[in-house]
């Protein structure tokens, strides 16, 4: 909006202290937007729930992060939500939504994720004539039990000013599923959290050691859940282990979201306590430290709309091993080894190769770093969004 400072309000059902993939993307994008002279303020409208659907009534209604991101939290009624959906299926006060909108007074409202439809609808209802609306969904094929979401998401996609998809593949899926006109779509991916310092040439800092008995570190970052596939990865690692020509340990980073006990029990029953490290959820600084001292990154999710953690690892010079699901084939064109979907023999063979072949692993890591830092930085993503925000002026600001 030329001549009018931007006030950007993001909407997501969960935000600090929880920081999953979408939430971390909002945070990193906010940091970059705040560095622009065109942006006056950045805020997040969210709920008083922690993931998944856990009520936190003691959380403050309003908060401000140390970086200056304003947070507005909504209570849900009743507090407890039926466990049928990843977002609390409860009532959020439309008047409270309006109060927060009037207080922050955004001229850009950005929905991130396609699941918090009540927050999205009431924000659009109250501010549809005062702000421009941008929608970045995270597309998932809807099972028959959730097809009721299709007309809701279809409505939202067709009343906002622009639907921004993370990949070309996702753009086509969203267009078909939600009847979005092609002219109202754009494609902007996420960025990678770049290393805070220059990564030295191989051998990099503590790689091949990591403080764990001289072992190569095979890192996996993601919620411990069936969707993220750590149990399947554990089977791959166990079958590859006898073929390793050097010590290599599997490091599982992420909060337990239903599969942690099963994975821990399997580690104990197979006698892998010395070969598998389960860290739990980590702070950003601790996560960056693990990226910096890891040698291989691997994750076998059931689906990835974008796979932010892949690019964070690659930005640290860590080669990726994954499989052909979601947007992986479109995005991971360099610095990564993709095997067919849930092809265990292929995954075992490639993991063995990455561990045993130093030249291959290091070469793929260099390629990964060059690709991630050239194509997927938050600064580049923020610049694309700024141009999009500024090109979609509120009606009262036009001219």
In this model, does residue 200 exceed pLDDT 90? no
Q: What is the mean pLDDT of residues 266-270?
A: 91
Residues 6+ apart with CB under 8 A from 78: 90
Residue 210 forms part of a structural domain: no
> What local confidence, expressed as pLDDT, does residue 283 receive?
85
Together in a domain, 319 and 171: no
Instruction: Give the residue among 182, 282, 165 at the shortest CA–CA distance from 223.
Output: 282
Contact 109, 123 (CB under 8 A): yes
Contact 310, 228 (CB under 8 A): no
194 φψ region: left (φ > 0), alpha (ψ -120 to 50), beta (else): beta
Contact 218, 298 (CB under 8 A): yes
Residue 204 forms part of a structural domain: no
Together in a domain, 221 and 324: yes
Together in a domain, 255 and 383: no
Q: H helices within the chain, ranges in order? A: 21-34, 94-104, 117-127, 149-159, 168-178, 230-240, 260-269, 284-292, 308-315, 328-331, 344-356, 358-375, 378-391
Residue 273 forms part of a structural domain: yes
Which residue segment(s) compose the domain that 366 sits in?
Answer: 216-375
Residue 205 forms part of a structural domain: no
Contact 348, 358 (CB under 8 A): no
Q: What is the mean pLDDT of residues 195-212?
A: 49
Residue 207 forms part of a structural domain: no
* Tens-digit pLDDT profile for residues 151-172: 999 999 999 999 999 999 999 9
> What local confidence, expressed as pLDDT, does residue 17 receive?
86
Together in a domain, 161 and 226: no
Together in a domain, 152 and 224: no
Higher pLDDT, 183 or 219: 219
3-class state of residue 73 by DSSP:
strand
Residues 6+ apart with CB under 8 A from 23: 12, 14, 15, 16
Question: How many domains does the chain divide into?
Answer: 2
Per-residue confidence band for 213, with pLDDT thresholds at 50, 70 and 90: low
105 φψ region: left (φ > 0), alpha (ψ -120 to 50), beta (else): left
Together in a domain, 181 and 52: yes
Q: What CATH code is carried by the domain that includes residue 326?
A: 3.40.50.2000
Cβ–Cβ contacts within 10 Å for residue 63, how many? 15
Please state, in angstroms and rounded to a whole number, the distance separating the CA atoms of residues 12 and 54: 15
C-alpha distance from residue 43 to each of 7, 85, 193, 210, 271 (Å) = 8, 26, 20, 38, 48
Q: Exposed (0-12), middle (13-18) or buried (19+): which is 298, by Cβ within 10 Å?
A: buried
Residue 209 forms part of a structural domain: no
Instruction: Give the residue among 380, 396, 383 at the shortest CA–CA distance from 39.
Output: 383
Q: Quick one: angle between helices 308-315 and 21-34, nearest 10?
A: 60
* Tens-digit pLDDT profile for residues 123-149: 999 999 999 999 998 877 777 878 888
* Tens-digit pLDDT profile for residues 344-388: 999 999 999 999 999 999 999 999 999 999 888 899 999 999 999
Contact 229, 299 (CB under 8 A): yes
- 320-323 and 39-47: which strand pairing? unpaired
Residues 6+ apart with CB under 8 A from 238: 270, 272
Instruction: Give the residue among 204, 120, 221, 137 at the shortest CA–CA distance from 175.
Output: 137
Residue 211 forms part of a structural domain: no
Residue 173 forms part of a structural domain: yes
> What local confidence, expressed as pLDDT, does residue 3 receive?
59
Together in a domain, 175 and 250: no
Together in a domain, 360 and 387: no
* Tens-digit pLDDT profile for residues 75-116: 999 999 988 788 899 999 999 999 999 999 999 999 998 889
Q: Quick one: angle between helices 230-240 and 344-356, nearest 10?
A: 60
Q: What is the mean pLDDT of residues 257-274?
A: 90
Together in a domain, 359 and 303: yes
Please state, in angstroms and rounded to a whole number, the distance separating the CA atoms of residues 10 and 136: 10
Together in a domain, 98 and 126: yes
Please state, in angstroms and rounded to a whole number, the distance separating the CA atoms of residues 35 and 156: 30
Together in a domain, 385 and 371: no
* Tens-digit pLDDT profile for residues 13-70: 999 887 777 898 899 999 999 999 999 999 999 999 998 899 999 999 999 999 999 9
Together in a domain, 76 and 128: yes
* Tens-digit pLDDT profile for residues 291-323: 999 999 999 999 888 888 999 999 999 999 999
């Amino acid at each position: 909006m030329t001549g009018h400072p931007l006030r950007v309000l993001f909407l997501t059902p969960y935000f600090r202290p929880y920081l999953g993939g979408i939430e971390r993307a909002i945070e990193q994008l906010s940091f970059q937007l705040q560095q622009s002279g065109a942006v006056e303020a950045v805020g997040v409208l969210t709920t008083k729930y922690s993931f998944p659907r856990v009520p936190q009534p003691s959380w403050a209604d309003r908060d401000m992060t140390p970086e200056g991101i304003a947070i507005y939290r909504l209570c849900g009624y009743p507090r407890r939500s039926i466990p049928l959906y990843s977002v609390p299926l409860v009532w959020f006060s439309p008047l409270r939504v309006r109060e927060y909108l009037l207080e922050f007074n955004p001229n850009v409202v950005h929905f991130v994720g396609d699941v918090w439809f009540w927050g999205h609808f009431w924000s659009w209802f109250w501010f549809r004539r005062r702000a421009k609306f941008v929608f970045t969904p995270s597309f998932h094929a809807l099972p028959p039990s959730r097809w009721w979401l299709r007309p809701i998401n279809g409505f939202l996609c067709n009343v906002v000013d622009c639907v921004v998809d993370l990949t070309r593949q996702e753009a086509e899926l969203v267009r078909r599923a939600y009847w979005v006109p092609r002219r109202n779509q754009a494609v902007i991916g996420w960025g990678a959290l770049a290393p805070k310092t220059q990564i030295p040439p191989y051998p990099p800092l503590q790689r091949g050691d990591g403080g764990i008995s001289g072992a190569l570190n095979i890192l996996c970052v993601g919620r411990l859940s069936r969707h993220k596939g750590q149990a399947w990865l554990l089977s791959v690692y166990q079958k590859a282990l006898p073929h390793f020509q050097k010590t290599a340990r599997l490091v599982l980073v992420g909060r337990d979201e239903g599969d942690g006990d099963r994975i821990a029990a399997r580690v104990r029953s197979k006698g892998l306590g010395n070969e598998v490290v389960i860290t739990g959820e980590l702070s950003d600084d601790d996560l960056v430290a693990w990226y910096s001292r890891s040698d291989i990154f691997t994750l076998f999710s059931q689906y990835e709309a974008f796979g932010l953690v892949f690019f964070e690892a690659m930005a640290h010079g860590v080669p990726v091993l994954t499989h052909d699901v979601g947007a992986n084939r479109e995005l991971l064109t360099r610095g990564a080894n993709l095997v067919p979907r849930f092809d265990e023999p292929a995954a075992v063979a490639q993991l063995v190769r990455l561990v045993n072949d130093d030249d291959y692993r290091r070469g793929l890591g260099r390629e990964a770093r060059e690709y991630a830092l050239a194509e997927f930085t938050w600064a580049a993503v923020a610049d694309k969004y700024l141009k999009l925000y500024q090109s979609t002026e509120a009606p009262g600001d036009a001219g």
